[in-house]
Structures are given as C-alpha cells and as structure tokens.
C-alpha cells in the first residue's frame, strides 16, 4: 500500500491547484459517490524516488457557511482516519479565518502528522506575510505557490520524510 496524503482546508485556498501540481500530468480518479459537498479526487505522485497517493478533498458548492463547514469537517474526519499525512492548506491572500481556526483545532487533537501549507505565497513579500499562520499553533509552516511552484520543492522534501 502506498502512503496516503490528503489535502484539506476551506474552499478556494488552492487545494485542487496543489493537487494538480503534485500529480503533474498523471490522471486523477474522481469519486463522486459522496455527492457535491464531499467529492474526492485521487492521484499518484512521485518525489525523490518515493511514490504516494494524494487525495484532493472538496466540493462544498452550497453557499451557506454551515454547509461548507459541515463539508470541510467531514473531509477532515475522513482524512484523519485514512491518511499517513495531511496537508492543511491556508491562503496568504485571505489571512486566518475562523474556519481555519476550527480545522486547526480538529487536527491538533489527532496523531496523524500535519503540515501547514500557506498557499498563494507567489513572491517573497507574500511568503513573509505567511508567518501570521504560526498563530494556528503548528510548529512548522510551508509557504508555497501552487501556481508558480515557489516553495513546493521544500514542501515535498519534507513530506517524503514523514512516511
Ligand atoms: P480549492 O477550492 O481549495 O480547491 O482552490 P482551487 O485550487 O480551486 O483555487 C482557488 C483559486 O485560487 C483559483 O482561482 C486558483 O487559480 C487560485 N490559486 C490557487 N493557487 C494559487 C497560488 O499559488 N497563487 C495564486 N495567486 N492563486 C492561486
Ligand atoms: Mg478544489
């Protein structure tokens, strides 16, 4: 069995963009049996000779905050159960939100390893601003840009040491 890495976080932080960067040109498998709030995409990734499965969580289309929170919470529960590593993605453009704090609280109570990923750190200034996310209570922080690839090598280097 390959190690499983799940990508969680609130909508629009860039989970799917990170997922696509990790799996590259390989094809994702879509599992929509969960319905709109919980659809999941599975793909394979390789780094430094290590192969692993990546799960993009998401959907949460309905606009109501409660529905979105239920969807995210459900995905975090599943991720805690089935993952060897969780990427908790936040957005340097938007800053810390209450949903980020709720997810952080859920993840900190569990033993599954978590890496906090501050996405949309497209340049040095954005990467510096990402330090506010230390306020979520994780020891390490990985500022990345899923769009231009900044920081993703450092993140992957760390990921493959954890499984
Ligand atoms: P998800 O809802 O968490 O899966 O987020 P998406 O991957 O769909 O991305 C949401 C929006 O953020 C899209 O418009 C992306 O193009 C944009 N986005 C994703 N990653 C980055 C990034 O690294 N930098 C910038 N500037 N925008 C990004
Ligand atoms: Mg998505």
Whether ligand 1 lies within 6 angstroms of the CB of 119 is answered as: yes
> By alpha-carbon position, which residue is closest to atom 26 of ligand 1?
120
Of 140, 83, 96, which is closest to residue 117 (Cα–Cα)? Answer: 140
CB 9 within 8 A of CB 88: yes
> Which ligand is in closest contact with the Cα of 151?
1
Domain ranges of the chain: 4-159
pLDDT 10s per residue in the chain (163 long)?
999 999 999 999 999 999 999 999 888 887 766 555 567 899 999 999 999 999 999 867 777 888 888 889 999 999 999 999 999 999 999 999 999 999 999 999 999 999 999 999 999 999 999 999 999 999 999 999 999 999 999 999 999 999 9
Cβ of 37 closer than 6 Å to ligand 1, yes or no, is no
Q: What confidence score (pLDDT) does residue 18 get? A: 98
Please tell me the distance between residue 105's alpha carbon and the centre of ligand 2 in angstroms. 22
**pLDDT at res. 32:** 65
State the pLDDT at residue 77: 94
Burial of 91: CB neighbours in 10 Å, binned 0-12, 13-18, 19+: buried
91 lines ligand 1 (CB under 6 A): no
19: nearest Cα among 102, 99, 75, 98: 75
Q: Whose CA is nearest to atom 19 of ligand 1?
A: 14
The C-alpha atoms of residue 59 and residue 37 are separated, in whole angstroms, by: 5
Q: Which CATH number fits domain 4-159: 3.40.50.300, 3.40.50.720, 3.40.190.10, 3.20.20.140?
A: 3.40.50.300
């Amino acid at each position: 069995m390959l190690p499983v890495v799940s990508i969680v976080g609130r909508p629009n932080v860039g989970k799917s963009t990170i997922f696509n960067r990790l799996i590259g040109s390989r094809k994702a498998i879509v599992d929509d049996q969960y319905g709109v709030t919980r659809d999941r995409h599975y793909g394979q990734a390789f780094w430094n000779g290590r192969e692993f499965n990546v799960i993009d969580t998401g959907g949460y289309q309905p606009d109501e905050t409660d529905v979105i929170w239920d969807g995210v919470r459900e995905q975090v529960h599943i991720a805690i159960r089935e993952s060897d590593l969780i990427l908790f993605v936040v957005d340097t453009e938007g800053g810390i939100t209450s949903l980020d704090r709720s997810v952080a609280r859920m993840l900190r109570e569990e033993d599954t390893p978590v890496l906090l990923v501050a996405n949309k750190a497209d340049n040095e200034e954005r990467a510096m601003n990402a330090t506010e996310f230390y306020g979520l209570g994780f020891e390490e922080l990985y500022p990345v840009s899923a769009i231009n690839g900044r920081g993703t090598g450092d993140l992957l280097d760390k990921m493959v040491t954890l499984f």
